[in-house]
Amino acid sequence: MSDCIFCKIVAGSIPSNKVYEDDEVLAFHDINPTAPVHVLIIPKKHIATTLDFAPEEDDRLVGKLVTTATRLARELGIDQSGFRLVFNTHHDGGQEVYHVHLHLLGGREFTWPAG
Q: Which of the residues are catalytic? A: 101
H-run or E-run covering 61: helix 59-75
Compute the distance between CA of residue 12 and CA of residue 111 in angstroms, rounded to an integer.
36
Compute the distance between CA of residue 48 and CA of residue 115 in angstroms, rounded to an integer.
23
Query: Are the C-beta atoms of residues 78 and 35 closer than 8 Å to each other?
Result: no
Q: Which residues neighbour 100 within 8 Å (Cβ) at sequence distance 6 or greater? A: 42, 43, 47, 48, 49, 50, 52, 53, 65, 87
